[in-house]
Structure 1
Amino acid sequence: MTVSTSPLPGPLWSVLNDIARQHPDNDALIAEDGRLSYGQLLEQVDSVARAMLGLGLQRGEHIGLLMGNSVQWAVLWYAAASLGLVCVPFNTRFRGEELSYGLAHEDVRALFCVDTFLDKIDFVGMLGDVEPAINTTLPGKKLPLLQHLVVFGQRVPGAALSEAAFLQLGTDIQPAELTAARTRVESDDTLLIQFTSGTTAFPKGVMLSHASMLGIAKCVAVRMGVRSEDRYFSPRPFYHVAGSTMSLLVALVHGATLVTAATFDPAQALAIMAREQCTLTSGNDTMFLMMLAEPGFNTHRLCLRGGWAAASPQILHDVVEKMGAKDICNAYGLSEASPNLVFSDYREPLDLRLNGSMTTHAGLDIQVRDPVTAEPMPFDQPGEICARGWSLMKGYYKLPDQTTATLRDGWLHTGDLGTLSADGRLKFIGRLKEMFRVGGENVSPLEVEQVLLKHPAIELAQVIGVPDPRLGEVPAAYVTLKQGAAASSEDLIAFCKARCANFKVPRYLCIVEDFESIGMTGSSKIQKNRLRDFAIHQLGLA
C-alpha cells in the first residue's frame, strides 16, 4: 500500500522540538560561526522566535535571508518556521537587480542579512543601492513592503536593527504568546520560497510546504542510512533546497550532526571532514572532482561511510574507492519536487547505486512521456520525466500562468529527459532544453560527457550544441584534465569516435584550466547556456 501523504508532515517546529528533546546533547550544527547542540539550538530558536514576534511578524508573512551557510542562518529559518513565517533565502551571488526583484516580487516584509560576506561582498552597500531608505527610515519608496532590516555585523544602517537590538525585542514576549503562535502553524503552510536557477529571465519562486520538505528529508535519510551518531558534511548552500531539505533537514530528522561551510573550497572541505570525523557527505561532479584533485588529498584521514551525489558512475566509483564512501547513493530531483523524486538505497548493490538507476519514494508517481504528445513512452525509451504526489510544489509565487504550464492535471512536467524501466527504476538523461539535434538526430550532452569521462586523463567534461551551417548543430566539448595528466584535443576526439556514433562525437574539443571563468551556479553547477555563449564567441560561430 502506498502512502498518499508525506511520511513526516510536521510542521517543522514539532519535528525540531521532538528531536531536540530526544538528543539534547548531540551536536546539531557545526559551522564557521560556531557549533550548537540540539538543546542549545532549541534555546536560540526560542529566543529568535520571540524577537520575531516582538518585531510584529505574523504567520504567513515573508522574511528574507541573505547570508552564507552558518549556524545563524539555520536558527533564523527554524525560528521563522516555528511561527508560520515563510522564508525566502537569497542566493549570495545575487546582485542588485536580482535582489531588488526578489525582495519586491516575493513580498519580503523583513530581511535578515550579514553586513559583508566572505570579507568582500558588501551586502549593506548593495541594499543601499536597491533601497536608499535603509539609511533613514523604512519602508521606502522602492520597496514599500520591506518594513524591517536586521543586520548581523558591524555596519548597521540607520533604519536597520543590530542583532542585539533585534533580540531585545523578544524580552517582553510571554511564553504563552510564543506557544499560541506556534499552535497555529499547519503542515501545508508554505515553509520556504525557493528561487529556481534563472538563466534568461528572473528566477521563479517555488512554494514548498512543511510537509513536502520534511517528507523528502525523511525518505532520503532512511535511504542514506542516517543515524543519530552520524556527522554529515554538506557545503551545499542553504539558499538552495540541496542545502535546506537535503542537508539541514536530512540531518535533523534523525538527530544527526550537520557540518557545513560558508562556501565550498576543496582543501577546506577535506580538512573539515577529517577534523570533524564526518561519516556522510554530499556533492556533485564538480565538487567531488575538485576534492579528488586537491594536491593534499592523500594527507587527510577521512571517515566517510556514505552520503549522496548527483554524479556520473565514473566519479562515484572514485568517491567509493578513494574517499571510502562505500554506501554512497545517487539522487535526482528538482526544486519543484522539494527537491527529490528518486533516490537509490545504501542497502542496494553498489553497481545499481552507481549506474544512476533509482526508485521513487512511496506515494509519488513517475511517468516518462513523449514531450510533444504527452503520451507515456514505452519502457526504457527516453522521454520527459513527469511526477505527481505529495512532494510537489504548491506553485510559483504570484506566477499563475507559469504554474499552470508546469503543473498540468496534477502532474509536474520537469523539462528533464529520462527512461523508466519495467520494474520502476528511473534514469536521468539530461535537460530537454539542453538536448540538441545534429542533422536530425537527438543528442544528450550527458551521454557524450559520460563517454569522455571514461578517458583516464579527463577530470571534468561538459558538452553543448553549437551552430553548424550544414547540420544545424554539432557537439562541442570543454574538458579539464586530471593533475599531471596529458592529452590532446585530437586524442580525445579519437577516443570518442571509437565509442559512440559519429553524430555524437564532438566537432570541437577545448581543454581548459577550469570552468569558473565561464560560470557556475551557486550550487557549483556549470551553466550550459553561458558555456554555449562562450563557445560560440570563442569558436567564431555567431
Structure 2
Amino acid sequence: MTAAANGPLADVDGWTLGRFADEIGARFGDGLALVASDRQHGPGLRRWTYAELARDACALQWALMRQGVRPGDRVGVMLSSFPEWVLYLFAVTRLGAVFVPVNPRFRGRELRHVLGHSGARALIAMGSYLGHDYAGQIAEARADAALPALETVIGVHTAPAADARDTADLLEAGRRRLSERGAPPRADDADAVAALFYTSGTTSFPKGVPLTHANLLPHSVRGGRWLELEPGEGVLTLYPFFGISGGANKVLSTLGAGARLVFQDSYRPDEAAGLLRSQRCTVIHGVDVQVRELMAACRLHPPGGEPERRATIAFTAGLDEALAREMGPGLGIHRFIHAYGMTETNPMILYNRLDDAFEVSVRAGGRVADGVEVRVVDPASGQDRAAGQEGEIVVRGPTVMRGYYNDPESTAAAFRNGWFHTGDLGVRTADGFLFYVGRLKDMLKVGGFNVAPQEVEELLRTHEAVADVAVAAGSDPRLGEVPVAFVKLHPGMSAGADELIAWCRVRIANFKTPRAVYFVDELPYHTAANGSKLQRHVLREWARRREASIP
C-alpha cells in the first residue's frame, strides 16, 4: 500500500504515540516516511517506509524490554537528528516508558542535571560527534555518586560507554524476535507522560516539562492539516530533534499526513539546498537564521525558478518583514505560518492560516488553536486587557502541561486559577487576532535556543577570580540575541575576557557561552524591603551602550 492510497489522518484524539506508529505503518505502507542525510552513518541517504518505521519501532521495543526497560522508566536520548531518534521515540513510548530528549549541546553539568532530575535509568547516546567526546562526558556523569546509576546505556553509531549495547545489534535482534513473536504489547496510555522535555527558564537549570500523549499528538496532527500536508509530499525540516518543535510537532505533523520527512543529522545549508530540490520538498520548517542561509545557498545554484512552497518560520531575531518578502523569490515560499507557543504549551497554540494577509502572517501568533483558551491579562491583577492593550499571555487547554516535573514551586508560580502564565507579552487586535509582542521573563533567545541568564551566572561564580556576575542580552545580526557578561572580580585577582569565555565554552553549551565579558566595579542592584534585586533593565542598557561604543 502506498501513502497516496489513503489521505492524511483526520482524528487521533485519545490515541497514543504507539497506536499512531502502528496506524501510520498500516495506512501509508510502502510510502516513504523518513529520508535522512546522516554523515555519521556514511554517504548516501537513509530511508524508511512507513511500514519499516512501524516495524522497527516494534523491534526496538522488544530490544529495550530485553534490556530491562519497563513502563514508567525515564529513558534519556542524547542524539543528533538521526533516524534512530524517531525510531526510539516510538519504541520508548509504545513501551509505556518516558522519552527524555537531551540537548546534544549540553555539557557535563547540564547532562548530570537532566539525568539526575529525571531519574533516568537508561541512556541512548552517541559516543562522539562533530569532535565532541560524549563518552567522556557520560563517564563523568556515571561516576557522580549523587546520581542514580544508569542501568542501561545504548549507543548509536559510536559507543558512549564500554558496556553500551549497539543500536544496530539491538535492531537486528529485535527484528528476529518480531518475526518470531509478532508485535510486542503496548503499555502506553493517552493520559500518561510520553516525553519529558527540558527547557531553560528563569531558574539556574533547565526545568522538566512532562507532556502526555494527549498533550502532543492531536495538536501536532492538526498542525499538518493547517499546512495542507498531503501524502507523499516532501517536507524539509531544519529544526534539531531534541526540542519540541523539531522532535515532536514537525515529526508528528508530517507523519500524520503520510508525507516524507527530509532531514539532516546537523544543519548544512549547501546540502539542505540540494535536498530541497532533489527530494522535491514543497514544505520547509525552520528559523529565520536557517532560512536566510538556505536562501543564500540556493542562490549559488539557481535552478531557473523555485516551485511554489509553504513553510513554518520562526523569526527568532524579531520581526523581519524584509526576509519574509524575500522568501518568495528566494525559496518559492509565498504562504507561511509564523506560530507562537512554547514547550509548556506546545508549539502553534497561536497560528495564522496560509491564506491570511501578509500583515498577519509575518507576526508571531494570529488565531487560537482548536480546543485551547488564550487570554491577555494584566500581569499584576490578572484582569483581561482590552483589545490593543498589551498584557501577559495566559493559556489553558489540552496542549498544556500539568506542571513542571519534580518542581512544585515553579509549578505554583506558573499556574494561577488553572491558567498557565507564559511570562510573554501579547496583544489582541480589534479583529480578533492575538499576537506575541515580547517577553516579561529575563530569558534570552539565542538563535532559537532559550538561555537562562541565571544558569550562566551560576557557572561563572564558580570561577576563582569572579566575585559577582550578571548576564544580559547583547545584539547579534545573525542570532538576534547573545549572552554578554558583566563581571566583578575579587580584589587582587585578575582574569581576562577571552580567558573567561574559553573557560565557559568547555563547561556549557556554546549558545549559552557569553560572547563578550565586560569588567565592572559594581553591579546594578536595587535594595528593597525584601532584599537586593538585580536590575536587569539596567544591564540591558549597559549592553546597548557597550555595543554602541565598539567601532
Pairwise TM-score range, normalised by the shorter structure? 0.7 to 0.9
Shift of 1:414: 0.4
SS of structure 2 residue aligned to 1:146: coil
SS of structure 2 residue aligned to 1:336: coil
Distance 1:203 1:435 in 2: 12
Shift of 1:349: 3.5
Distance 2:365 2:90 in 1: 34
Match of 1:162 among 150, 158, 166: 166
Match of 2:302 among 292, 299, 303: 299
Q: TM-score scaled to structure 2, two decimals?
A: 0.75
Distance 1:114 1:156 in 2: 5
In the alignment, what sits opposite 2:47? 35
SS of structure 2 residue aligned to 1:333: strand
Is 1:420 matched with 2:428?
Answer: yes
Structure 2 gap ranges (5+): 1-10, 39-45, 446-452, 454-471, 480-503, 518-538
| Residues 213, 391 of structure 1: 8 Å contact kept | yes
In the alignment, what sits opposite 1:226? 229
Trace 1:122-161 onto structure 2 (pairs within 5 A). Answer: 122-132=133-143, 141-155=145-159, 157-161=161-165
| Residues 154, 167 of structure 2: 8 Å contact kept | yes
In the alignment, what sits opposite 1:393? 401
Trace 1:279-358 onto structure 2 (pairs within 5 A). Answer: 279-294=282-297, 296-299=299-302, 302-303=306-307, 305-311=309-315, 312=319, 313-356=321-364, 358=366
In the alignment, what sits opposite 2:416? 408
SS of structure 1 residue aligned to 2:441: helix
Distance 1:203 1:62 in 2: 17
Residue deviations 1:264-312 (CA, integer Å, cap 9, x gap): 2322221221221111011122222222344844535644510211223
Is 1:244 matched with 2:247?
Answer: yes
Alignment root-mean-square deviation, CA: 3.5
In the alignment, what sits opposite 2:384? 376
Match of 1:11 among 16, 26, 32: 16
Q: Closer, same or farther in 2 for the Cα pair 1:86/1:175, shift >3 Å?
A: farther
Shift of 1:98: 0.4
Q: Closer, same or farther in 2 for the Cα pair 1:62/1:198, shift >3 Å?
A: same
Trace 1:16-165 onto structure 2 (pairs within 5 A). Answer: 16-33=21-38, 34-118=46-130, 120-132=131-143, 141-155=145-159, 157-165=161-169
Shift of 1:175: 8.2
| Residues 224, 257 of structure 2: 8 Å contact kept | yes
Q: Closer, same or farther in 2 for the Cα pair 1:292/1:46, shift >3 Å?
A: same
> Quick one: which amino acid aligns to residue 277 of structure 2?
A
Shift of 1:31: 1.2
> Quick one: which amino acid aligns to residue 437 of structure 2?
I
Q: Closer, same or farther in 2 for the Cα pair 1:528/1:388, shift >3 Å?
A: farther
SS of structure 1 residue aligned to 2:339: strand
| Residues 340, 365 of structure 2: 8 Å contact kept | no
Q: Closer, same or farther in 2 for the Cα pair 1:145/1:243, shift >3 Å?
A: same
Match of 1:189 among 189, 192, 198: 192
Match of 1:365 among 359, 373, 378: 373
SS of structure 2 residue aligned to 1:396: coil
> Quick one: which amino acid aligns to residue 15 of structure 1?
F
Distance 2:199 2:260 in 1: 27
Q: Closer, same or farther in 2 for the Cα pair 1:363/1:275, shift >3 Å?
A: same
Shift of 1:154: 4.4
Distance 1:243 1:81 in 2: 17
Shift of 1:354: 2.6
Distance 1:280 1:524 in 2: 30
In the alignment, what sits opposite 2:526? none
SS of structure 1 residue aligned to 2:84: helix
Shift of 1:158: 2.9
Distance 2:172 2:48 in 1: 21
Distance 2:106 2:34 in 1: 26
Identity %: 26
Paired positions, count: 455
Distance 1:225 1:417 in 2: 30
SS of structure 2 residue aligned to 1:274: helix
Shift of 1:186: 1.1
| Residues 428, 435 of structure 2: 8 Å contact kept | yes
SS of structure 2 residue aligned to 1:255: coil
Distance 2:322 2:386 in 1: 28
More moved, 337-346 vs 361-370: 337-346
> Quick one: which amino acid aligns to residue 25 of structure 1?
D
| Residues 127, 161 of structure 2: 8 Å contact kept | no
Residue deviations 1:183-217 (CA, integer Å, cap 9, x gap): x3111111111111256611001011111111221
Shift of 1:46: 1.3
| Residues 320, 328 of structure 1: 8 Å contact kept | no
Distance 1:475 1:40 in 2: 46
SS of structure 2 residue aligned to 1:28: strand
| Residues 474, 544 of structure 2: 8 Å contact kept | no
Q: Closer, same or farther in 2 for the Cα pair 1:407/1:176, shift >3 Å?
A: farther
> Quick one: which amino acid aligns to residue 159 of structure 1?
D
Trace 1:465-504 onto structure 2 (pairs within 5 A). Answer: 478-479=476-477
Q: Closer, same or farther in 2 for the Cα pair 1:392/1:154, shift >3 Å?
A: closer
Shift of 1:319: 1.5
Q: Closer, same or farther in 2 for the Cα pair 1:172/1:57, shift >3 Å?
A: farther
More moved, 421-430 vs 51-60: 421-430
SS of structure 2 residue aligned to 1:260: strand
In the alignment, what sits opposite 1:452? none
> Quick one: which amino acid aligns to residue 61 of structure 2?
A
Q: Closer, same or farther in 2 for the Cα pair 1:316/1:70, shift >3 Å?
A: same
| Residues 237, 523 of structure 1: 8 Å contact kept | no
| Residues 24, 258 of structure 2: 8 Å contact kept | yes
Shift of 1:219: 2.0
Shift of 1:49: 0.6
